Structures are given as structure tokens and as C-alpha cells.
Amino acid sequence: MSELIVSLAAIVGEAHVLTDADTQAPYLTDWLGKYRGAAAAIVRPGSTEEVAAVMALCAERKVPVVPQGGNTSMSGGATPDASGQAIVLSLTRMNRIRAIDSIGNTMTVEAGVVLAKVQEAAQAAERFFPLSLGAEGSCTIGGNLAANAGGVAVLRYGTMRELTLGLEVVLPDGRIWDGLTALRKDNTGYALRDLFIGSEGTLGIITGAVLKLFPRPTARATAFVAIDDASAALALLSSVRARCGDRLTAFEFMTGDCLALILHHIADARLPLGAMPPAAVLIELSDADDEPALTRRLEGALTEALEAGGALDAAIAQDGTQAKAFWRIREGVSETLVRAGKAAKHDVSVPVAAMADFVAAANAAVSAVLPGIRPIVFGHLGDGNLHYNLLPPAYLDEDEFAAQAPGLTRIVHDETRKRRGSISAEHGIGQLRVSEMPRCKAPIELELMASLKRLFDPDGRLNPGKLLPHPTET
Ligand code: FAD
Ligand code: 2HG
Ligand code: ZN
């Protein structure tokens, strides 16, 4: 056993330093199966003090550290490189809910608490925590914060940044910043909290957070609506919003090709419409109103759209079971894409009004380069965020397509940039998009980010190779 391993075991206990290949394996590859790394050890601290001691030790020995939560990153953000030099710092043992304040409407949690547990604890306290995404059964609050996760309720409640009041962070040198305040107003200088949120584990280890809680919605109305295309989806978004205001909680778009693929790969997914549409949206309203009133409101909006020709067909869920079945279709997309083969994944945002134009232009541009390519487009249309996935044409195998992926990504990102969009709306840069940063971020932004990185992490040991390009590439 190396001296490093012995010292780590002295801090967290021998049982929580994993060194053999089998126990390490799940920590060394990502959810998509795209990356595989190596590590000196997987280290599983049980408290903030243990995290601080591990970080101080790693600073002294110049050991790189890759923070990891639920390991559901869509950008290879939590997978170490292949050198085996780094430790993976897994926060999943830090899974305590420290406090719920039902007057201030906050919940204080450790970073390793799984998102679904936070939702359940909020519900048990007759409150609501709105972050909701397909990986909620395994992703953690620390990962949600480090990635500034979005999901399906951003339209109404915002991203993780907007759902957070305070943070506790261990710095790369082992010092602890206790920023666990529950204040809604605090104008005492730079917003350190917001710097750590979305920093993808490159500036510090998030160990705790104070989250905002909301009144629990008592009514929901859910519809699955057939439409022509993204342009029709935008018109529908506008009319539903005009009628329903901020009761509109989710507005999720899927193309017909995306739907067909889901129905092919997900055995329990059923289309709630008479025929396969060219595209569809899943709409959810929520409110503290009574449910029949909310359903009537949604029916009114959809009747108007059907009469005006903006919607082709619509199904409104009659109960919670049906609503769940509608969501099963939407939530099956990522799983579907993994089964369908290795997609070239993009997570772009553009101004909402430019989305239809973006889809048309990107489809035309990638098809010109690779005829027969299959764009599988879906996402949080109400937020201007599309998951623009590309599957290979029938005549290319997986490796041939992988060789083409960087060129296709440049095309998709160029169409995004033309519309002043972003190359990552919610999944982060990780290692998947890091080579695109010098092309897609302004030099002044890269320079400021590199300065901040040097300030917090002068040795560049925290999650190396993620988010920021190597200094020589900028
Ligand atoms: P990990 O994957 O473990 O890590 C993510 C990043 O955070 C890495 O850079 C890691 O180093 C860093 N990190 C983790 N914990 C800490 C910590 N305590 N301190 C500092 N850094 C840390 N994302 C969305 O935004 N919206 C979606 O709708 C969505 N849907 C998804 C659906 C599926 C099926 C899957 C598999 C993923 C989805 N994701 C989505 C992506 C992913 O779930 C989120 O990014 C999630 O927030 C990651 O949480 P995690 O705990 O798994 O983090
Ligand atoms: C979603 O919105 C997730 O379902 C995953 O962000 C998207 O798999 C993807 O590309
Ligand atoms: Zn998403």
C-alpha cells in the first residue's frame, strides 16, 4: 500500500478508500459509457472535516482530485483521465439532510444527498423542491450545484443557481468556506456562491447547501400535443403562456423521429395520440388551485390552438397514472439514445424565438456534410434549450461516425453562435466540450476564467482537463 493510500485511510477509514479494480470500476466510467479513466484511489469521506483533511493532504502531495456525486454527468465531467494520478473524491456518503426551516422555507443538506431524497423530504414537510430531471434517482445535490443543473421545471422555477441560497465549500488547499447562509438578501460583495455553482468541480468541493423550498402545488394538468414542427411549438408556447401565465411549469419538445425512436426502444412507452405526429410537446401546468379548474384552463388553451390549426391533436391526462405515462415517453429519451448507438450529443441554447430557425439551419448543415444523418432533437423548448443529438446514417459504423463527430459538433456550435447562443445550456463543458471553448468563448472570458482558476487552484489539481482548456490552447 502506498504512503498516500495509508494517509487517506487514516482520514476516512480503510473501508472508504477503494483501490481494487472491481470496486473502482463504476466510478471510472461515465453514464453514457463514452469515457474511461483510472485513479490512484476512490476516496469516500463522511464529513466536511474529512473532506478538508483529504484536500489538505492532496495539496501537500500535489495529487489531482476529481469530485464525483451520482456520476450521471452528460459531459464526462466526473470521470478522471487515464493517467491514474488523481483520486476520485466521491461525496455520496455525505447524505444527511441537516435541517428544514418551514418558516424561512429552506432546507440545509449535505452535498451527497440524492435529488429524489430532497424532493421527498420537502414533500414530507409540505413544501416543494422543484429541480426535476431524468437522473433524479441517482444524481446528488453537489453534482446538481457543480453542473448548475436545469431539467424540466426551469421555465417556472429557474436552474439550480436560482434554487440555492448558501453553500459550504472546501477549497483546494483544505480550508473550509462556511457560506451556509439562508439569507434572501445579502449585498456584501462578490457572489462567491454563484462562482462555485456551475464551476464543475474545478474551484472547490461543495460539501453542503441551503436550498429554497416552495409551496407545494396541489393541482397539475398535463397534455401531450401533436404539432407540425419547432415553429408551431413556439407559437403554441406563446399562446399557452398568454392563457396560463406562470402556471406553465414544463414545455418539452420532441420531433417525430425522436418519438419513433423512443417507442421503438422503450417497451412501456405508449403514444397517447391517434397517429405519429411530425413533432410533439409535453405541457405541464401546476398551481395551488383546484385540479378541475387547472385542467379547464389547459383545455381552453389547447382548444384554441386546435381551432386555429396551431395544434394537430391533443391528449390531456385524466389522472396521475396517465400523466406519468406521458412523462415516461419524455424521460425515456436518454436511455433510448444509449440503446440506439453512440450519438453525437449537443446541449445548446439559443434565444427562444430563434429555435425553429436554428433547428432548420443545423439540420440542413449537418445533412449537407453527411447525407442520411439522423438528428434526434428534443428538449426544454420553453427555456430555449435543445438537446440536438445526431445518430449516424445507416452506411457508417460507430467508429466511422465517431471520427466525424468533432466536425459535426463544430457545425452545430457555429449555428448556435450565429444566434448568440450557448454550447452548453445545462450539461456543462466537462471533457466533452472543452476543445470547443477556445472557439466558442471570447478571449476575455477565457482569460478571466483562467485567472479565477489560478486564484483558487494555483496547481491546477482540481478536476483537471474539465471545463477550461489547457492554458496553451487559449
Ligand atoms: P456527477 O456526474 O457526479 O458530477 C457532475 C460534475 O459535478 C462533475 O464535474 C463533478 O466533478 C462535479 N461535482 C460533483 N459533485 C461535486 C461536489 N460535491 N463538489 C464539486 N464538484 C462536484 N442535467 C440537467 O441539467 N437537466 C436534465 O434534464 C438532465 N437529465 C438527465 C437525464 C439522465 C438520464 C442523465 C443520466 C443525466 C441527466 N442530466 C441532466 C445530467 C446530470 O444528471 C446532471 O448534470 C446532474 O446535475 C449531475 O449530478 P451528479 O451528482 O450525478 O454529478
Ligand atoms: C434531458 O433533458 C436530459 O432529458 C438529457 O438533459 C438529454 O440525453 C440527453 O441528451
Ligand atoms: Zn435536458
Tens of pLDDT, residues 113-137: 999 999 999 999 999 999 999 999 9
**3-state SS class at 460:** coil
pLDDT tens digit sequence for 186-242: 999 999 999 999 999 999 999 999 999 999 999 999 999 999 999 999 999 999 999
416/355 Cα distance (integer angstroms):
10
For 119, the grid coordinates are 424532493
Question: What's the gap in Å between 57 CA and the centre of ligand 2?
Answer: 37
Could you please state the CATH topology (level 3) that the domain comprising 3-90 is classified under. Answer: 3.30.43
Question: What's the gap in Å between 440 CA and the centre of ligand 1?
Answer: 22
Cβ of 387 below 6 Å from ligand 2? yes
pTM of the shown model: 0.97
Question: What's the gap in Å between 146 CA and the centre of ligand 1?
Answer: 7
| Domain residue ranges of the chain, discontinuous segments joined by + | 3-90, 97-215, 219-334, 341-418, 434-473
Compute the average pLDDT of residues 102-116: 98
322/335 Cα distance (integer angstroms):
21
The yes-or-no verdict on residue 67 having pLDDT over 60 is: yes
Q: What share of the chain is helix, strand, coil (3-state, %, to 5)?
A: 40, 20, 35
Cβ of 334 below 6 Å from ligand 2? yes
For 433, the grid coordinates are 466540450
User: Does the domain at residues 341-418 carry the CATH identifier 3.30.70.2740?
Assistant: yes
> What does DSSP assign to residue 114?
B
> What CATH architecture does domain 219-334 belong to?
2-Layer Sandwich (3.30)
Q: Which ligand is nearest to the CA of 45?
A: 1
pLDDT band for position 470 (cuts 50, 70, 90): confident
Examine domains 3-90 and 97-215 and report if their fold is the same.
Answer: no
In this prediction, residue 74 carries a pLDDT of 98
Residue at grid coordinates 429557474: 158
Q: Is 389 exposed, middle or buried (0-12, 13-18, 19+ CB in 10 A)?
A: buried
Question: What's the gap in Å between 235 CA and the centre of ligand 3?
Answer: 21
Question: What's the gap in Å between 151 CA and the centre of ligand 3?
Answer: 5
Cβ of 206 below 6 Å from ligand 1? yes
pLDDT tens digit sequence for 333-364: 999 999 998 899 999 999 999 999 999 999 99
The yes-or-no verdict on residue 474 having pLDDT over 60 is: no
Q: Which atom of ligand 1 is nearest to the CA of 207?
A: 18
Phi, psi of 245 (to 5 degrees): 55, -140
Q: Which atom of ligand 2 is nearest to the CA of 337?
A: 8
Cβ of 150 below 6 Å from ligand 1? yes
Residue at grid coordinates 406521458: 326
Cβ of 69 below 6 Å from ligand 1? yes
81/39 Cα distance (integer angstroms):
8
Question: What's the gap in Å between 208 CA and the centre of ligand 1?
Answer: 16
pLDDT band for position 472 (cuts 50, 70, 90): low
In this prediction, residue 289 carries a pLDDT of 79
Percent of the chain clearing pLDDT 90 (strictly above): 97
pLDDT tens digit sequence for 274-323: 999 999 999 999 998 799 999 999 999 999 999 999 999 999 999 999 99
Q: Which ligand is nearest to the CA of 75?
A: 1
Q: Which atom of ligand 2 is nearest to the CA of 150?
A: 6
Compute the average pLDDT of residues 247-252: 97
Sequence letter at residue 397: D
Q: Which ligand is nearest to the CA of 147?
A: 1
Cβ of 73 below 6 Å from ligand 2? no
Q: Which atom of ligand 1 is nearest to the CA of 426?
A: 25
> Which are the contacts of 113, defined by CB distance < 8 A and separation ≥ 6?
94, 95, 96, 97, 140, 141
Compute the average pLDDT of residues 52-76: 98
CA 288, 290, 295, 300 dihedral sign is negative
Q: Which atom of ligand 2 is nearest to the CA of 330?
A: 4
For 296, the grid coordinates are 379547464
Question: What's the gap in Å between 77 CA and the centre of ligand 2?
Answer: 15
Compute the average pLDDT of residues 364-380: 98
Q: Quick check: 89 and 65 in contact, CB under 8 A? A: yes
Q: Which atom of ligand 1 is nearest to the CA of 32?
A: 36
Question: What's the gap in Å between 214 CA and the centre of ligand 3?
Answer: 22
Residue at grid coordinates 462562482: 195
Cβ of 134 below 6 Å from ligand 2? yes
> Which candidate, 320, 338, 322, places its Cα nearest to that of 135?
338
pLDDT tens digit sequence for 73-101: 999 999 999 999 999 999 999 999 999 99
Closest Cα to atom 2 of ligand 2: 379
Q: Which atom of ligand 1 is nearest to the CA of 67?
A: 11
Which one of 1.10.580.10, 3.40.190.10, 3.30.465.10, 3.40.50.300 gives the CATH number of domain 97-215? Answer: 3.30.465.10
Cβ of 345 below 6 Å from ligand 1? no
Closest Cα to atom 26 of ligand 1: 151
Pocket probe mutation, ligand 2, options 74, 159, 380, 424, max atoms within 8 Å of Cβ: 74
Cβ of 385 below 6 Å from ligand 1? no
Closest Cα to atom 27 of ligand 1: 151
Question: What's the gap in Å between 105 CA and the centre of ligand 3?
Answer: 27
